Amino acid sequence: MALGRSSFFGGNNIGMTDLAFGWLAFWLDVVGEAAGVKLLQPNSFPRLQVWIENFKNVAVIKENHPD
């Protein structure tokens, strides 16, 4: 993962790689809630967790993703 100081895979702007893996940001929470477990521990994969939060907070993603 190339997320050194960048917010997304391709830098500071959302790109195709982010969009291709964006479903992961939401489905990990859904599957974890359905199974009754936390699938992604924040301290296990900290850069992945940061990417998920950054992805979920992009305005166009927030406005178009259903609850």
Nearest to 24 by CA among 36, 39, 4: 39
Residue 6 pLDDT level (bands cut at 50, 70, 90): confident
* Domains of the chain: total: 1
More confident: 51 or 66: 51
Is 2 a member of any domain? no
Residue 67 has pLDDT above 80, yes or no: no
Q: Is residue 30 in a domain?
A: yes
Q: What are 7-43's pLDDT values in tens digits?
A: 898 889 999 999 999 998 889 888 989 999 888 887 8
31 neighbors 39 (Cβ within 8 angstroms): yes
Name the residue range of residue 30's domain.
Answer: 16-63
Cβ atoms of residues 28 and 39 within 8 Å: yes
Residue 5: the pLDDT is 74
